[in-house]
């Protein structure tokens, strides 16, 4: 990889990525093939990994800073779903052979911004030049108390089902970026595309839910699919209401222009909001968390003792066949 004065992979690491490890002495300046991670007494490690590929998880011509933010944030979102605080990241990148120094500089600046925002330094990884699409894999490391962690398997019948923020923006943003959703105003279009490109990991929420929630997951594959994961892991069912699902003003404008977009809202994914269940006697705590974070936490249904997911008002929205969500090898 020697284009535009980039040099080989060691030069690339030293120039663009080693500075991002400055806050982590255990990263050893990215000069070694492994890093050292210290945890506080009474904590255990949580690890999450995701891969993003141009043309599948992001558009090849997306701004490099946004691509950097997305690879960081989708992984931090997995930590958030377990109530973990970030401690560091390892990134493997397969860069196209024609990558330029300007592109790498913008990408590194995007990483730097999120490393500082989320206190999660880059502590290692690998770089490769390839002939295929830009491919990124990031492993996020986090810490949780020894006796606390959120998983998908703790939901119990009678729990309320909640979701943070708004749902459907990511899926609609991808459609909007491709020129879809006729009649959508520029402001709404830009908002949706921004939500698709740069998710918002709900780390503070996840940590607060350690003392409140029974189960949690981030909405990456789609609301129905991810709720299905909680139900399957917990041996429970769920009942939700479309009318209770929180939408942004931009998403409401989109479905007003085309009601056929509702299945994408329920099954499209890429929102990275937290979907979680809370026992009935902790409802007040959810309101307190929402107020403390200034974040909407909407109750969309209940966990049931049965199996599967019932969408009780689906017919009211013309939803006869619901897409369960994204699957890679389907």
Model confidence pLDDT, tens digit, residues 267-288: 888 999 999 999 999 999 999 9
Buried b / exposed e across 307-327, counting CB within 10 Å, b at 16+? eebebeebeebebeebbbbbe
| Statement to judge: residues 135 and 165 lie in one domain | no
| Statement to judge: residues 268 and 178 lie in one domain | yes
Cα 128 versus chain centre, distance:
25
Q: CA 104, CA 12: separation in Å to the nearest integer? A: 9
Domain assignment present for 3: no
| Statement to judge: residues 274 and 208 lie in one domain | yes
Answer with the one of 87, 116, 145 that is the final residue of a domain. 145
Residue 137 lies in domain: 9-145
| Statement to judge: residues 128 and 165 lie in one domain | no
| Statement to judge: residues 34 and 76 lie in one domain | yes
* pLDDT at 328 exceeding the cut of 60: no
| Statement to judge: residues 232 and 98 lie in one domain | no
Answer with the one of 145, 174, 192 that is the final residue of a domain. 145
Q: CA 291, CA 257: separation in Å to the nearest integer? A: 32
Query: Cα-flanking dihedrals φ and ψ of residue 249, to 5°?
Result: -60, -35
Domain assignment present for 292: yes
- Here the tokens at position 245 are 């699902």
Q: What is the pLDDT of residue 134?
A: 94
Q: What is the pLDDT of residue 63?
A: 94
Buried b / exposed e across 241-265, counting CB within 10 Å, b at 16+? bbeebbbbebbebbbeebeebbbbb
Q: Domain holding 188: CATH number? A: 3.90.650.10
| Statement to judge: residues 288 and 221 lie in one domain | yes
- pLDDT class of 38 with cuts at 50, 70, 90: confident
Q: What is the pLDDT of residue 17?
A: 73
Domain assignment present for 19: yes
Q: Domain holding 54: CATH number? A: 3.30.1330.10
Q: CA 241, CA 302: separation in Å to the nearest integer? A: 9
Query: Cα-flanking dihedrals φ and ψ of residue 123, to 5°?
Result: -115, 0
> Are the C-beta atoms of residues 138 and 23 closer than 8 Å to each other?
no
Q: CA 7, CA 3: separation in Å to the nearest integer? A: 7
Q: CA 323, CA 262: separation in Å to the nearest integer? A: 10
Domain assignment present for 201: yes
| Statement to judge: residues 302 and 172 lie in one domain | yes
């Amino acid at each position: 990889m020697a284009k535009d004065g980039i040099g080989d992979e060691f030069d690339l690491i030293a120039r663009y990525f080693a500075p991002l490890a400055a806050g982590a002495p255990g990263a050893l300046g990215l000069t070694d093939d492994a890093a050292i991670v210290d945890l506080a007494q009474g904590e255990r490690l949580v690890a999450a990994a995701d891969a993003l590929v141009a043309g599948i998880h992001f558009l090849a011509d997306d701004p490099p800073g946004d691509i950097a933010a997305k690879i960081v944030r989708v992984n931090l979102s997995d930590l958030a779903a377990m109530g973990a605080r970030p401690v560091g990241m390892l990134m493997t990148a397969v860069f196209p052979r024609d990558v330029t120094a300007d592109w790498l500089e913008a990408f590194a600046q995007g990483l730097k911004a999120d490393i500082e925002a989320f206190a999660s330094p880059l502590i290692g990884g690998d770089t490769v030049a390839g002939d295929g699409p830009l491919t990124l894999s990031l492993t996020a490391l986090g810490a949780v108390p020894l006796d606390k962690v959120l998983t998908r398997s703790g939901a119990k019948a009678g729990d309320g089902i909640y979701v943070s923020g708004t749902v459907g923006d990511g899926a609609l943003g991808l459609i909007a970026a491709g020129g879809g959703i006729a009649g959508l105003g520029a402001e709404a279009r830009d908002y949706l595309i921004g939500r698709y490109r740069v998710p918002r990991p709900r780390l503070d929420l996840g940590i607060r839910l350690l003392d409140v929630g029974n189960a949690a997951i981030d909405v990456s594959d789609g609301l129905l699919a991810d709720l299905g994961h909680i139900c399957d892991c917990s041996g429970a069912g769920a009942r939700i209401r479309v009318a209770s699902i929180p939408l942004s003003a931009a998403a409401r404008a989109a479905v007003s222009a085309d009601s056929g977009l509702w299945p994408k809202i329920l099954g499209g994914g890429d929102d990275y909001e937290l979907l979680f269940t809370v026992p009935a006697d902790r409802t007040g705590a959810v309101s307190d968390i929402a107020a403390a974070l200034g974040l909407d936490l909407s109750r969309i249904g209940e966990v049931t003792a049965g199996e599967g997911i019932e969408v009780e008002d689906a017919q009211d929205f013309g939803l006869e066949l619901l897409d369960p969500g994204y699957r890679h090898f389907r």
